[in-house]
Copies of this chain bind each other. A is one copy, B any other.
Amino acid sequence: MPSANPLISDRFVDFLLYDVLDAPSLAALPAFADHERETFDLWLGACRRLAREVLFPTYRAMDEAPPRLEGGQVRVHPAMRAIWKELAELGVIASTRPASVGGQQLPLTVSTLASAYLMAGNLSAYGYAGLTTGAAHLIEAFGDAWTKQTFMAPLYEGRWTGTMTLTEPQAGSSLADVQTRATRTDQGHFLLRGAKIFISGGDHDVTENVVHLVLARIDGAPPGTKGISLFAVPKRRREGDAWVDNDVSISGVIHKIGWKGLPSVALALGDRNDCHGWLIGTENSGLRCMFQMMNEARLMVGVNATATASVAYHESLAYARERTQGRPLGVVDATTPPVPLVEHADVRRMLLRQKAIVEGALCLLATSAKYADLAEHATDPSLRERSRLLLDLLTPMAKSFPAEYGFESNALAVQIHGGYGYSSEYLPESWLRDQKLNSIHEGTTGIQSLDLLGRKVVAGGGAAIMTWREEILADCARADEAGVDRARTQSVRDALERVVALTGALGARGMKGDVNGMLAHSADYLQLASILAIAWMWTRMSAAIAGRDEAFARGIERAAMYWIATEVPRIEVLARLCESAEPSYVGLDPADL
């Protein structure tokens, strides 16, 4: 059996925070003035312990006993109650929120990496906390005093959990088609009626109440996205001294193929016309409110995906070191002992590819989180603006790269386990199942690609891409100074200029009204931009480690070498497809399939 899985490498996380991202510099900002490296390390240590000692040991049991619907109530694995208590007591839910709402006011940079351990340990268990943070944060940002006191406080305290209740069966990703209705009453609340689906954490027996953040349409609201409002809709509501059922019923439990510890349900709101909801923010601004939280939610999916690839990477690394099989190339004498799998070059390829994906992605997420911290808390307004632009630009990549490449990475972990990997007695297959959701929820990869190319890189009339260019060039210069192989840095620079020129050309096409010609190969654009983003990360990491000669540094060096040699050359191939608007599927008549 492999050694204890570290979930994520501590050494690597410390390297990111303290050598690559200079996290302690954030403590110079007023928002984080109560912090220093020591408090960061305390938090990381607590989350690592919780992840390894409490969450990971329950992962398999929760995967094997999915939620059941009994008499209208969803029941989850009983271990979840104890886990929830520990998550809440540690303060995971409000870790990044201000002290004024009971939070610890940690930088997102730090909390993102700390949460990654929890996700790697037990993705579903962390999910309850992540969703609760998201729901409470929406109320914190847009709610009034009453909704904050009534709903936000119990959420941040961990007495209740929260959900994001957006999707409807007929509309899927198309929020413009949301049909749930909200009718105003004269008692301060609205009456909601409608059907929702794929609501994660939508019901359970872990806490006494659940607060749904629901998108709905107030009677008379305009069609499309401009007529959508946001409501807080609890499972149980207070009437006088009593808690009464708020007419939110569970119309089904989705039999998900992964994330089995976290229920995903279909909800019926207002079957008895008694579903009370309280407006959060102003009328018809629901989607705008939601979008202000979108970066945060999408980064969280990126961390989910990276964590899921990370735990599988470490499992397959340990397995490849311990399992002996076969002999090196050219050794035919069967009386010599078999060697560990890791001695085979192709197994090292699969391991190094996983490492390059997992650690490249984690660096991208921590970098994005740092931009988020600066976008919100930097004292210099121009730095805030610049950081916001970069955060917006990176978010679609930080969400979808770990989901897509992470799925491949998880499949490699199964492959390294051979026939054993194809069995549910080993864990890699369960992480492969968990991973698949990340390319679907919070905006599919297709939607991310349209967001990146149609909005983000062309934002500010090209300001976004040019700002990104400055950042990458600055890191390449640092790498040169630090003594990183110049040929490698030059590859990254060349790829960058190619991407910038391509973006300009595609943007110009859009400006001329040829939106289809601009966006036809958005999937290829997302991929090439993501390859560049990860090459940038490996360049940053190479610069931070250059000159050290120890196993850890050599591992970083090898992964950087691998990524830039193997993936960066694909950028040119993909760029040509975008540039030529290669017509095979673009102009395809669906009837010809």
Q: Which residues of A contact B (CB under 8 A)?
A: 167, 171-174, 176-177, 197-198, 223-225, 254-258, 317, 320-321, 325-327, 329-330, 332-335, 338, 340, 342-349, 351-353, 355, 407, 411, 414-415, 418-419, 421-425, 429, 432, 436-437, 439-441, 444-446, 449-450, 515-516, 519-520, 522-523, 551-552, 554-555, 558-559, 561-562, 565-566, 569-570, 573, 576-577, 582-586, 588-593
Q: A334-B177, A334-B223, A570-B570 are in contact. Are A592 and B256 (CB under 8 A)?
A: no
Q: A590-B343, A592-B555 are in contact. Are A352 and B585 (CB under 8 A)?
A: yes
A352 near B573 with CB under 8 A, answer: no
> In the assembled complex, how far is the CB of residue A28 from the closest CB belonging to chain B, in whole angstroms?
35
Query: In the complex, which residue of chain B has the Cβ closest to the Cβ of A176?
Result: B334
Among A224, A344, A346, A522, max chain B CB count under 10 A is at: A346
Given A352-B584, A422-B437, A555-B593, 13 new contacts (CB under 8 A): A172-B418, A176-B327, A225-B334, A254-B422, A258-B422, A329-B516, A346-B523, A349-B523, A351-B585, A355-B593, A555-B592, A565-B577, A570-B570
B-side contacts of A584, CB under 8 Å:
352, 558-559, 561-562, 565-566
Residue of B255, B582, B590 touching A342 (CB-CB under 8 A)? B590
Query: In the complex, which residue of chain B has the Cβ closest to the Cβ of A321?
Result: B590
Q: How far is the CA of A344 from the CA of B343 in the complex (A)?
A: 46
Q: A325-B172, A419-B172 are in contact. Are A429 and B586 (CB under 8 A)?
A: no
Query: In the complex, which residue of chain B has the Cβ closest to the Cβ of A519?
Result: B329
Q: How far is the CA of A527 from the CA of B589 in the complex (A)?
A: 30
> In the assembled complex, how far is the CB of residue A328 from the closest CB belonging to chain B, in whole angstroms?
9
B585 near A326 with CB under 8 A, answer: no
> In the assembled complex, how far is the CB of residue A251 from the closest CB belonging to chain B, in whole angstroms?
14
Residue of B198, B224, B346, B423 touching A446 (CB-CB under 8 A)? B346
A436 near B418 with CB under 8 A, answer: no
Residue of B256, B325, B351, B583 touching A423 (CB-CB under 8 A)? B256
Query: In the complex, which residue of chain B has the Cβ closest to the Cβ of A555?
Result: B592
Q: How far is the CA of A321 from the CA of B588 in the complex (A)?
A: 14
Q: How far is the CA of A261 from the CA of B334 in the complex (A)?
A: 37
13 CB contacts below 8 A, A to B, read A167-B419, A173-B326, A255-B425, A330-B516, A348-B586, A351-B593, A415-B440, A419-B440, A429-B436, A554-B589, A558-B585, A569-B573, A570-B573
> In the assembled complex, how far is the CB of residue A546 from the closest CB belonging to chain B, in whole angstroms?
16
Copies of this protein in the complex = 2
> In the assembled complex, how far is the CB of residue A64 from the closest CB belonging to chain B, in whole angstroms?
10
Q: How far is the CA of A347 from the CA of B522 in the complex (A)?
A: 12
B-side contacts of A325, CB under 8 Å:
171-174, 177
B441 near A419 with CB under 8 A, answer: yes
A565 near B582 with CB under 8 A, answer: yes
> In the assembled complex, how far is the CB of residue A110 from the closest CB belonging to chain B, in whole angstroms?
26
B419 near A197 with CB under 8 A, answer: yes
B-side contacts of A439, CB under 8 Å:
415
Q: How far is the CA of A558 from the CA of B587 in the complex (A)?
A: 9
Q: How far is the CA of A593 from the CA of B319 in the complex (A)?
A: 13
> In the assembled complex, how far is the CB of residue A517 from the closest CB belonging to chain B, in whole angstroms?
10
Query: In the complex, which residue of chain B has the Cβ closest to the Cβ of A554?
Result: B592
Q: A415-B440, A551-B592, A593-B317 are in contact. Are A349 and B423 (CB under 8 A)?
A: no
B257 near A429 with CB under 8 A, answer: yes
A522 near B429 with CB under 8 A, answer: no
Q: A171-B325, A257-B422, A257-B424 are in contact. Are A349 and B591 (CB under 8 A)?
A: no
B-side contacts of A419, CB under 8 Å:
167, 172, 197-198, 254, 440-441
Query: In the complex, which residue of chain B has the Cβ closest to the Cβ of A565?
Result: B582
Q: How far is the CA of A190 from the CA of B198 in the complex (A)?
A: 60
Residue of B167, B562, B593 touching A352 (CB-CB under 8 A)? B593
B-side contacts of A519, CB under 8 Å:
329, 345
Q: How far is the CA of A470 from the CA of B340 in the complex (A)?
A: 42
A330 near B515 with CB under 8 A, answer: yes
B-side contacts of A577, CB under 8 Å:
565-566
Q: A351-B593, A424-B255 are in contact. Are A223 and B335 (CB under 8 A)?
A: yes
Residue of B173, B255, B418 touching A173 (CB-CB under 8 A)? B418
> In the assembled complex, how far is the CB of residue A136 from the closest CB belonging to chain B, in whole angstroms?
24
Q: How far is the CA of A269 from the CA of B347 in the complex (A)?
A: 32
B-side contacts of A224, CB under 8 Å:
332-335
B-side contacts of A256, CB under 8 Å:
422-424
B-side contacts of A326, CB under 8 Å:
172-174, 176-177
